[in-house]
Amino acid sequence: MHTVIENMITRRSCRGYKPDMIPEDVLEEILKAGTYAATGMGKQSPVILAVTNPEVRQRLSEVNAEIMGVDSDPFYGAPVVLVVLADKKRPTYVYDGSLVMGNLMLAAHALGVDSCWIHRAKETFDRPEWKEFLKEQGIEGDYEGIGNCVLGYRAVPLKEAAPRKDHYVYRVK
């Protein structure tokens, strides 16, 4: 089986992480892969906010938990959060950001790093204080949060893939 396809089939979402930080060179490779996701007309509407600062990561976790209505860590202890945002001026921005999320998770898996797509980035970055945070980071414009890609090394076993549903593919010959 081709390595890319094998990675697509074997990648799983991880819901429990060790506190160990990802080496910078590995994180850079993952980020680079994210920047090569297909985007509508090649306009590259997304940006990636790479959060490795523990205090900022904790604040993001807390607001995510508040939005979700829980007291637990929605990031499952992952030390890295890659927030994907996309420019709402592009008609394909949600799809563009979703493809970036996919690239990030597949690249992480290929490099031995576990990941999970955590929602509520839209709700987080709709808040005035987080819009201001983006401006402080040099991200200006009308960006919408697409997803939080949490990264780290698993502290729990990964689940087996669920069987594929019947009638997943319909062929027209």
Q: What's the confidence (pLDDT) of residue 2?
A: 87
Residue 39's CB is within 10 A of a number of other CB atoms, namely: 20
Q: For residue range 103-145, list pLDDT tens digits in order.
A: 999 999 999 999 999 999 999 999 999 999 999 999 999 999 9
| Distances 63 to 7, 11, 51 between C-alpha atoms, Å | 32, 28, 15
What sections of 69-159 are H helices per DSSP? Answer: 93-110, 121-125, 128-136
Residues of the chain with pLDDT under 50: none
Q: What's the confidence (pLDDT) of residue 122?
A: 98
Ramachandran bin of 42, using left for φ above 0, alpha for ψ from -120 to 50, beta for the remaining angles:
left
Q: What's the confidence (pLDDT) of residue 62?
A: 98
Alpha carbon distance 141, 45 (integer Å): 11
Q: What's the confidence (pLDDT) of residue 54?
A: 98
Q: Measuring CA to CA, which residue among 91, 73, 74 is closest to residue 144? A: 91
Q: What's the confidence (pLDDT) of residue 169?
A: 97
- Domain annotation for the chain: domains and CATH numbers: 3-152 (3.40.109.10)
